[in-house]
Structure 1
């Protein structure tokens, strides 16, 4: 067992505690829609978010990393094969917890509209715990935040807020329930992933002791496998040598498993040698010299020294995912000890795809220190990031599938009866608020106030519990100048400064065969839809800015 992971005494299994029926839940402008569910009790919600996880990193999504707990979660629940995020951390969090596109609530940049893209949300965009409070829920948060405001002021009764995201071993700024706690020293037994799980378990135990007659929302926001690549020596040692054959072999092996088990209609997209990190930092070359590789190129084009350096970094990335899975297992054990497993909806996803970013931040990088230790600052980089996003193109920040497609695992044993099932319905993080609120209350939420735009997402409950289709007009993306729109099976996508491309994702999820020249009419109509949504959003945000100092 890792020296960074303390032993914990779990609660003995308790007798199943019946949940009381949910109290009536009213929001302004709500539509009463029955939920197709096997129980009338309000479900508990455990919402788990990974940070910079690749689409195929989990074992149940084609990966070779050991993730037995998430694999078991998928075996008793369902896996979505066409679920999306916003391709970046803070926009995804805003969309996931408000039910709006990030641009609609001033949490991402919209061209031609004032604001830096990480401003305050409007009054009509409460976070999920504030909405669920009216239904008697108590909410807990542990981990990363990256949303405007403070967790303790946004509906969470308990919170562990990890503000320092550049130090997995020695954070300088973090707090519990709004109160700062001391910086971690080199002598402390701390690793962020384990500590986040510790606090989650503590909050659940507290809930069971004091509020067992109320349902809970537990939001667990891990900060891994986001850079810096840091993990315990024991966890890293488990993967020693596993990636020595390189990312070309890794991509082929993951792709074969994905095709066999997830039935994804895709080819293995070729490497793009002109694609590297989305942002340039001079200190990378100064720190690592020729060992670091800044482009997607074939593994056999690397020197032996470069191959050793790259495979070492992937070993740490895998160790971070492995440790996260272990800690998720401990959280699920606590839910089980509370007798709450059957009526707890567990949702797992990632905020964006794996990252090609290369930089040195935090405490810098000591080349003499042990790889993956607190004194080092390593990033995965474009080669293994591309492999982590198999079979898709591009990385975090891009809105091609590699940046915006995420695993989505949902377990709810009382209501999802086809454990291990796949769902090919298209979904997006804007759908999570409608889904959770409908599961919790039997009602589909709409806008909270009359001056708010309609919620753009759809409840996924029919897909989760009955494998039914989800009807929607489109899904829309914009980040860092990268644009995309999906209508049915067709997707248009444009990297910043590049022409629009068109793909039929029912045949080509890996976006290899551009149909733009063959279907100009479809392309033009979809571009018009993308622009219309952008224009409508600009009007909404401009109206907010005109009455808010923070919009100036």
Structure 2
């Protein structure tokens, strides 16, 4: 098989020979996506949660300190799989155009499996879909989707290869994070048996630690009492660890007691009772009952992250047993920051049920979300750093020579698709059915596998009226209905010191660029 130009370049950069790569010309790829995982929610990014498998990947690979998402689940998934901003492909709204989770993606915005199939790849999906269309129609060879987002123990809607499956009966030992992994292992085992001469792309999209807070009791008990000191103490401890690791410098963001969930569900707050807290209040201002209830919620969140790491360990073991671990690029990331949402859905909440069990329905809430997003401000749906900046781990023994290194360059989920197409030996398509395609806004990460790149780029955001643009060290950001603010992220990732009054020309230039890009995206949708 002929080695791709991209891989030849990469291997020449790091001095490997073709023999060193086990004669593989293109890597396998496993993309692991967590759901509502905050920046500091795993050990190698500052957490006290036990994540030895992810920590090992980071120790032998790379951690990106300034990697971004779209601030929300379905827009991020669209961006990851298409290589375009979700607003470009109808998966999120523009000021004068609708968009969202229910469709609108144009035919030219093909997903990664359709781009990788002509290059010889087989593609598999295990987990959350949340994209328009269906996986098999979109190019995946096998899929298991988790379409019931309110039940970890007995979901009522899943599909396998686009076929709706029976509901999971109550009283079984089913747990969704484990079921996702079971399917991933089935796909990998079949691939090893039937298609070992072909490379594969496996998209493992876990539904955790998204609400509801559901976890096996044995995992919860590991964290009993761990969070009794509260979110203030957790934030400070994580911040100290983040600085030790060299991930972020500057200062820790302040709590914002005036900021609550992004959506108001007063009936849910009333049903949950006085123990629930829907603001980032100082821990010592809470009652004893509130502190006990809140600490228990974080114990469950930690258990969900811990269980995900355990299941990732099973996938790594499978790759090793197939003898493809060294030539598999593994990327781990999150779809957005931790969530401040508080609501009750699906089967409701039984206050008499053990917290974290199937009959309970709890959400993390803004206090613990701020801890998960340490050291940043705000949460999922906001386009401040807390909503948009999350981990990216890259691990590939035969393609990444540095171990445990950090990458401080700016990256975004729109970079994943062009990176994988290039590694697969392909070129990004410029036309579709005779029509010229818009240039992909993403930047391949391949150069960054060897060193930080010094390129300056613009990264753009818009979600539910929250808007931002980052270019170089400066970020212009505004929450819905609020004026623009300007921050220098080189020394203020916490977005604490608004510079707009002192640098009006810089702010005006970034605003003009945000408006130009927004106009271009609207023109693309309605030329």
The TM-score normalised by the length of structure 2 is 0.96
**Structure 2 counterpart of 1:87:** 71
Alignment pair present for 1:486 and 2:477: no
Give the secondary structure class of the aligned counterpart of 1:165: coil
The Cα shift of 1:282 comes to 2.2
Partner Cα separation in structure 2 for residue 191 and residue 447 of structure 1: 43
Shifted more, 227-236 versus 263-272: the winner is: 263-272
Partner Cα separation in structure 1 for residue 469 and residue 452 of structure 2: 23
Alignment pair present for 1:437 and 2:411: no
Alignment pair present for 1:36 and 2:20: no
Q: Please give the residue correspondences for 1:108-123 in structure 2 after superposition, counting only pairs within 5 Å.
A: 108-116=92-100, 118-123=102-107
Residues 97-155 of structure 1: CA distance to partner in whole angstroms, max 9, x if unpaired? 10000000000011112445642311211101110001100001001000000001111
**Structure 1 counterpart of 2:306:** 322
Distance 1:117 1:175, change over 3 A: closer
**Structure 1 counterpart of 2:162:** 178
The Cα shift of 1:33 comes to 9.8
Q: Please give the residue correspondences for 1:481-520 in structure 2 after superposition, counting only pairs within 5 Å.
A: 481-520=465-504
Contact 1:58 1:67 in 2 (8 A): yes
**Structure 1 counterpart of 2:440:** 455
Residues 463-504 of structure 1: CA distance to partner in whole angstroms, max 9, x if unpaired? 11x114152430000001000000011100000001101111
Alignment pair present for 1:198 and 2:167: no
The Cα shift of 1:283 comes to 2.2
Alignment pair present for 1:366 and 2:350: yes
Alignment pair present for 1:341 and 2:341: no
The Cα shift of 1:296 comes to 0.8
**Structure 1 counterpart of 2:518:** 534
Q: Please give the residue correspondences for 1:368-387 in structure 2 after superposition, counting only pairs within 5 Å.
A: 368-387=352-371
**Structure 2 counterpart of 1:4:** none
Partner Cα separation in structure 2 for residue 120 and residue 114 of structure 1: 9
Partner Cα separation in structure 2 for residue 506 and residue 161 of structure 1: 40
Contact 2:45 2:247 in 1 (8 A): no
Residues 306-337 of structure 1: CA distance to partner in whole angstroms, max 9, x if unpaired? 00010000000000000000000000100010
Give the secondary structure class of the aligned counterpart of 2:261: coil
**Structure 2 counterpart of 1:230:** 214
Partner Cα separation in structure 1 for residue 369 and residue 168 of structure 2: 30
Query: Which consecutive unaligned segments of at least 5 residues does structure 2 have?
Result: none
Contact 1:434 1:445 in 2 (8 A): yes
**Structure 1 counterpart of 2:334:** 350
Give the secondary structure class of the aligned counterpart of 1:291: coil
Distance 1:115 1:397, change over 3 A: closer
Contact 1:503 1:513 in 2 (8 A): yes
The Cα shift of 1:531 comes to 0.2
1:239 to 209, 219, 223: 223
Residues 385-406 of structure 1: CA distance to partner in whole angstroms, max 9, x if unpaired? 0000000000000000000001
Contact 1:463 1:470 in 2 (8 A): no
Alignment pair present for 1:262 and 2:236: no
2:89 to 93, 105, 108: 105
Contact 2:476 2:507 in 1 (8 A): yes
**Structure 1 counterpart of 2:132:** 148
**Structure 1 counterpart of 2:37:** 53
Contact 1:42 1:440 in 2 (8 A): yes
Contact 1:35 1:461 in 2 (8 A): no
Partner Cα separation in structure 1 for residue 72 and residue 221 of structure 2: 30
Give the secondary structure class of the aligned counterpart of 1:132: helix
Q: CA RMSD in A?
A: 1.5
1:303 to 278, 287, 294: 287
The Cα shift of 1:541 comes to 1.0
Distance 1:381 1:499, change over 3 A: same
**Structure 2 counterpart of 1:17:** none
Query: Which consecutive unaligned segments of at least 5 residues does structure 1 have?
Result: 1-19, 26-31, 544-552
**Structure 2 counterpart of 1:169:** 153
**Structure 2 counterpart of 1:64:** 48
Distance 1:98 1:363, change over 3 A: same
Q: How many residues align?
A: 515
Contact 1:65 1:322 in 2 (8 A): yes
